[in-house]
Amino acid sequence: MIKRRITRQVSLGSVKIGRNSPVSIQSMTKTDTRDIAATVRQVKSLESLGCEIIRVAVKDISCAQAIKKIKSKIKIPLEADIHFDYRLALEAIASGSDSVRLNPGNIRKKEHVVEVIKACRKKNIPVRIGLNSGSAGTNSAKGMVKAALDYLKIFEKEKFFDIMISLKASDVYTTICAYREMAKVCDYPFHLGVTAAGSAQAGLIKSSIGIGALLADGIGDTIRVSLTGEPENEVIAAKHILQSLGLRKFFPEIIACPTCGRCQVDLSKIVNNFYDAMLDTKYSTLNTKIALMGCEVNGPGEAKEADMGIAFGKNAGTLFKKGKIIKKVSYKDAVKELIKLI
Ligand code: SF4
């Protein structure tokens, strides 16, 4: 079992981050924040998949003002993403943002940061010091840690400790090293991520290695898997990362064979449909191992350790439970029948 790093705890709206709270999942909307209807639609879609915190881009004052209406229509806490202009943070806080992310690389003036700290203290909300390697003017893990520590001094001098930290580089190993070093010198909770990770496939691999390595070390309190494309994929990926490490449980364990020359059906279609069905939160507490196997010759045998499953022949499948055959089902009805058995 993973022993998690001991940290302070902050509250981002109703979600606790750090100490013994579960590692939370967050994502970021990809809509123009000023388009309230589109942004709310995207947040609701992410909420329904299990996203626990949402971040929105605040590129001008209208975005900051839109937060008020967005917040009134969504359930999960919202973090405002602020770059360049500290006044956007003040406006987002006034609009009811549950947290603000400041980029130390482009909000540098001490007096500006202090203004934001005062506003956060008044509303009792945390700040994320969100450092990215490029904008921090350094590409090394050491440089990132130093930049974060210098920035932290402004907060600590003001006796403000409701802080989360992220140290994201687009290079996976630099990201890992930066967080590991930072974990040695502070006890603030960490938001983990690999920045600009890339496409659904490449980005997923980079994020899984970066975030996964740190989580396995016990480092990390909330995660965002940055992927180019639909944000829904970020939430699903985050769930898989956390479940793979035994840190959270979201769906039953699914075993699927890779298929070989014996397989006579489109197993990948079946597996994808089944995964989609299992995303429904009603299956999250199910402690069942389910196997989807490409052939009836080896399927039930290979999946002996599964509680139940299905092994396919030509256009049909055999449902099995603990290695014993239950009944034959057509290829078309296979997923439906398996869900019925569950
Ligand atoms: S279960 Fe059958 S189809 Fe799948 S890998 Fe094994 S032998 Fe091949």
Ligand 1 centre from 36 Cα, in Å? Answer: 49
The CATH architecture one would assign to domain 9-244 is: Alpha-Beta Barrel (3.20)
Average per-residue pLDDT for the chain: 93
The pLDDT, as a whole number, for residue 220 is 98
Which residues does residue 271 pair with via DSSP β-bridges, in sequence order? none
Q: In whole angstroms, give the CA distance from residue 88 to residue 92.
A: 6
Domain ranges of the chain: 9-244, 253-341
Residue nearest to atom 5 of ligand 1 (CA): 259
Q: What is the pLDDT along the chain (342 residues), one digit of tens a residue?
A: 899 999 999 999 999 999 999 999 999 999 999 999 999 999 999 999 999 999 999 999 999 999 999 999 999 999 999 999 999 999 999 999 999 999 999 999 999 999 999 999 999 999 999 999 877 778 899 999 999 999 999 999 999 999 999 999 889 999 999 999 999 999 999 999 988 767 778 889 999 999 999 999 999 999 999 999 899 999 999 999 999 999 999 989 898 999 999 999 999 999 999 988 888 878 877 888 999 999 987 766 766 778 999 999 988 899 988 878 889 999 889 889 989 888
Residue nearest to atom 8 of ligand 1 (CA): 260
Does 253-341 match 9-244 at the fold level? Answer: no
Ligand 1 centre from 200 Cα, in Å? Answer: 27
Contact 204, 225 (CB under 8 A): yes
- Assigned superfamily of 253-341: Sulfite Reductase Hemoprotein, domain 1 (3.30.413.10)
Residue type, 10: V
Nearest-atom number in ligand 1 for the CA of 303 is 1
The pLDDT, as a whole number, for residue 207 is 93
The tokens for 275 are: 């995964």
Residue nearest to atom 7 of ligand 1 (CA): 298
First-to-last C-alpha distance (Å) of the chain: 28
The pLDDT, as a whole number, for residue 197 is 67
Tell me the per-residue pLDDT of 53-86, one tens digit each, with 9 for 90 and over.
Answer: 999 999 999 999 999 999 999 999 999 999 999 9
Tell me the per-residue pLDDT of 235-267, one tens digit each, with 9 for 90 and over.
Answer: 999 999 999 999 999 989 898 999 999 999 999
3-state secondary structure (DSSP) of residue 38: helix
Give residue for tokens 């930072």: 182
Enter the pTM of the model.
0.91
Is the minimum distance from the CB of 257 to ligand 1 under 6 angstroms?
yes
DSSP conformation letters of 14-33: TEEEETTSPPEEEEE--S-T
Is the minimum distance from the CB of 18 to ligand 1 under 6 angstroms?
no
Quick one: DSSP state of residue 190?
A: B
Ligand 1 centre from 297 Cα, in Å? Answer: 8
Mutational pocket test of ligand 1: of 260, 265, 310, 320, the residue with most ligand atoms within 8 Å of the beta carbon: 260
Which residues does residue 333 pair with via DSSP β-bridges, in sequence order? none
